[in-house]
Chain A
């Protein structure tokens, strides 16, 4: 009798435990509704409201400004409106660097990604054929390198002003060129506006969702943010913006490929690198509020005897200083002064290691997260 009761108790107990566990067990990847319920995280609140959302507003404003001057130029192509367009392009490109670390959630939803917005070098053959009247879809397969900032970089800066003016005025395909220019600027403006709205508290209010998806599991905001930001730094900045031009990355770039830098035609590469790193620094430090630094400082993690947080902050500053010694155009530096660029790459690599290995590990976030059975 005693055993019967015990058996019943154990069976019911195990069953209840199982039920409880399954009902509160964490859901799967790609489900960003999960996270720690309604408790929000002050760092996430600050980053969302005061760092990330404003960066998207900045991009929305800059791309809207670009679109306005592009329209003005296509209506009345003058050297003055061409210059206005070039300046607006640089502002917008810089604003893009301010958000490229945030490629998750709304940016993915709107295809405002490096792939569609900043695939360099631009595919000039496709751009020319699109201008000449080939039918194309902006985000269609194969058009990724014929759009975004690299395409504008090519159209506005590849040749001297006279030639550029001619392309949009006297050339046989001038109308096609004007239309394509408008389409490029229009696509950027539309996507940027949509993302800014999706994040905005008065719009899609992703900022609220972002602040509440706490914890470090797949789908949590911290995991999404750090994965996106580390990938942006590791792949886009380290490999594409510097590694490929100096011939360190991939078999097809040897010995050097200066023409593969970002913003090759406008020669604006270093300025953009600095903008990207400054944006990362702002995000890491959290502006005037809590940032990733506070989370790292709360751990005991060390690097080479220094608290990890100090090591990261120092390395960001070291790299910034190094970037500031480089001079635009970067392509010329790659050709004539490769030692400085190589040195910069070494400093980039050090920061990559600190972010990808040390920081992620200290915060318990898995980089390249894939859901699994755990252990």
Chain B
């Protein structure tokens, strides 16, 4: 605890924060514009008739097309403002709210890197990253400071360490380490479109090497970046690792997010020389008032406790994590499974005994359907959507059952859900196990 409190008393140069703000803000801006240009605002939020909001956020709904484009327009503008440090406080709040809103609307589109963006924009809200080398300083020179409490920089380092470390922990599985799965499926499949190293990717030993390399990288990179003597080679590793993943997989802006975020680990001298033009001027400390300090200390303690607990919550559930996906999201489990399924929903009218299969395409977009087909919580939501729809069509008490087959890492498809259970009468809970998911080892 003393050490933590020390970070509220010890001061550091602000340059790392300013560089992080610019680099990360730039990536956010590019990624938001890219999202809009690719037409995903329409594809993801306007076209679908139904959505899969996160538990607790069912009250959120996508707005009209105009509204959704405004949200994304605001997001892009806010990212630009974050990058340049213009109206920074408002910009970070706007970005966090808009991005968080879009993320909560539909879990179909959940990605670990969107979660990373959400929490980084949350942390950026708390720190004075605009008080150096920014348009705000140009606008109001009085804002300029050179020394900030060291926690403002450390929280980003700790967050990144947690991300990499948990990503590494989640790779400690039989499939990943011993079978080299799913890389042994993906690498040969992707090989023809990968430049230079294409011919290597067909070998099983390369998949093994990548699996172990990835695991060791994730587990150790945080510490190597923290420790000064290993920092430079570690950053080179960061670049190699993320460039490789970007070349092999279609993972959008994720590598750039990580490469820009990990810059924070460099020493303040490094960051000061990046921003050497802004170095002239008097030294000034930013002092937080005592109540603010205490509030932040508590808030951040709770926040980091949650960050540690979230990835571990899977321990609350029985069964295989990758199979049930209970406690899977928000836990830095990245590219760990090749999972695929096919799912048939049936409606039964208990009054007449008639039972028929539903055309999923009439309710969901292909993307939503594909994601739903392997994720039980989405199946439950979809069952409720169907129950509501068919009630409106005149079936008083429709029973919804599902016949779902899923294969995980090429182990072979098997029945995924108890097809006798009426999902219309099952409820979602916070941490309750869904006992209608069949165990993976049960042969059907």
Binding site for B on A (CB under 8 A): 3-4, 6-7, 10-11, 13-14, 17-18, 20-21, 24-26, 28, 35-36, 39, 41, 214-217, 220, 234, 239, 243, 247-251, 253-255, 298-305, 308, 311, 352-354, 356-358, 360-375
**Which chain B positions have C-beta within 8 A of A304?**
412, 443
Q: Mark B355-377, 1 if CB is under 8 A from A, else 0.
A: 01111000001110110000000
CB-CB under 8 A for A249 and B412, given A361-B340, A375-B113 = no
Task: Flag if B235 contacts A251 (CB, 8 Å).
Answer: no
Task: Flag if B189 contacts A375 (CB, 8 Å).
Answer: no
CB-CB under 8 A for A253 and B356, given A21-B246, A353-B405 = yes
Interface residues of B in 361-412 (CB under 8 A from A): 365-367, 369-370, 390, 393, 405-407, 410-412
CB distance from A200 to the nearest CB of B (A): 24
Task: Flag if B270 contacts A6 (CB, 8 Å).
Answer: yes
Q: How far is the CA of A10 from the CA of B270 in the complex (A)?
A: 10
Q: Mark B239-253, 1 if CB is under 8 A from A, else 0.
A: 100010011011111
Task: Flag if B259 contacts A368 (CB, 8 Å).
Answer: no
Task: Flag if B253 contacts A373 (CB, 8 Å).
Answer: yes
**Which chain B positions have C-beta within 8 A of A41?**
192
Is the CB of B273 closer than 8 A to any CB of chain A?
Answer: yes
Q: Which of B134-142, B148-156, B180-188 contacts A (4 or more CB under 8 A)?
A: B180-188
Partner of B354, one of A24, A255, A305, A372: A255
Partner of B247, one of A21, A28, A353: A21
Q: Which of B120-128, B216-224, B318-326, B331-339 contacts A (4 or more CB under 8 A)?
A: B331-339
Interface residues of B in 204-249 (CB under 8 A from A): 232, 235, 239, 243, 246-247, 249
**Which chain B positions have C-beta within 8 A of A375?**
111-113, 251, 254, 334-335
**Which chain B positions have C-beta within 8 A of A311?**
412
Q: How far is the CA of A299 from the CA of B182 in the complex (A)?
A: 11
CB-CB under 8 A for A18 and B367, given A3-B273, A364-B190 = no
Task: Flag if B192 contacts A36 (CB, 8 Å).
Answer: yes
Contact count A vs B, C-beta below 8 Å: 185
Partner of A358, one of B198, B249, B413: B413
Given contacts A14-B239, A14-B260, A353-B342, 7 further A-B contacts (CB under 8 A): A21-B256, A298-B188, A303-B413, A361-B339, A364-B186, A373-B35, A375-B335
Is the CB of B428 closer than 8 A to any CB of chain A?
Answer: no
CB-CB under 8 A for A248 and B246, given A358-B413, A362-B410 = no
Task: Flag if A364 contacts B193 (CB, 8 Å).
Answer: no
CB distance from A357 to the nearest CB of B (A): 4
CB-CB under 8 A for A302 and B411, given A249-B359, A357-B405 = yes
Which residue of chain A has its CB nearest to the CB of B232? A6
Which residue of chain A has its CB nearest to the CB of B359? A250
CB distance from B88 to the nearest CB of A (A): 22
Partner of B113, one of A354, A365, A373: A373
CB-CB under 8 A for A373 and B251, given A4-B273, A26-B193, A353-B413 = yes
Task: Flag if A21 contacts B255 (CB, 8 Å).
Answer: yes
CB distance from A263 to the nearest CB of B (A): 22
CB-CB under 8 A for A28 and B38, given A361-B339, A373-B251 = yes
**Which chain A positions have C-beta within 8 A of B427?**
none
**Which chain B positions have C-beta within 8 A of A6?**
232, 270, 273
Name the residue among B111, B250, B269 with the largest chain A CB count within 10 angstroms: B250
CB distance from A314 to the nearest CB of B (A): 14
Partner of A364, one of B189, B232, B370: B189
Task: Flag if A358 contacts B192 (CB, 8 Å).
Answer: no
Is the CB of B100 closer than 8 A to any CB of chain A?
Answer: no
Which residue of chain B has its CB nearest to the CB of A234? B342
A-B contact pairs, 22 of them (CB 8 A): A3-B272, A14-B259, A17-B239, A21-B255, A24-B247, A25-B246, A36-B192, A39-B192, A217-B190, A217-B250, A251-B393, A354-B413, A357-B407, A358-B410, A362-B410, A365-B189, A370-B365, A371-B38, A371-B250, A373-B35, A374-B111, A374-B250
CB distance from A315 to the nearest CB of B (A): 12
**Which chain B positions have C-beta within 8 A of A364?**
185-186, 189-190, 338
**Which chain B positions have C-beta within 8 A of A214?**
192-193
Task: Flag if A370 contacts B270 (CB, 8 Å).
Answer: no
CB distance from A361 to the nearest CB of B (A): 4
Is the CB of B426 closer than 8 A to any CB of chain A?
Answer: no
Q: How far is the CA of A305 from the CA of B444 in the complex (A)?
A: 12
CB distance from A134 to the nearest CB of B (A): 30
CB-CB under 8 A for A302 and B259, given A248-B357, A370-B366, A375-B335 = no
Q: How far is the CA of A255 from the CA of B253 in the complex (A)?
A: 51
Q: How far is the CA of A7 from the CA of B279 in the complex (A)?
A: 15
CB distance from A234 to the nearest CB of B (A): 8
CB distance from A35 to the nearest CB of B (A): 7
Task: Flag if A368 contacts B366 (CB, 8 Å).
Answer: yes
Partner of B270, one of A7, A216, A357: A7
Is the CB of B109 closer than 8 A to any CB of chain A?
Answer: yes
Task: Flag if B340 contacts A217 (CB, 8 Å).
Answer: no
List of 5 A-B pairs having minimum Cβ-Cβ separation, nearest first:
A364-B189, A214-B192, A368-B366, A215-B193, A374-B251
Q: How far is the CA of A357 from the CA of B404 in the complex (A)?
A: 10
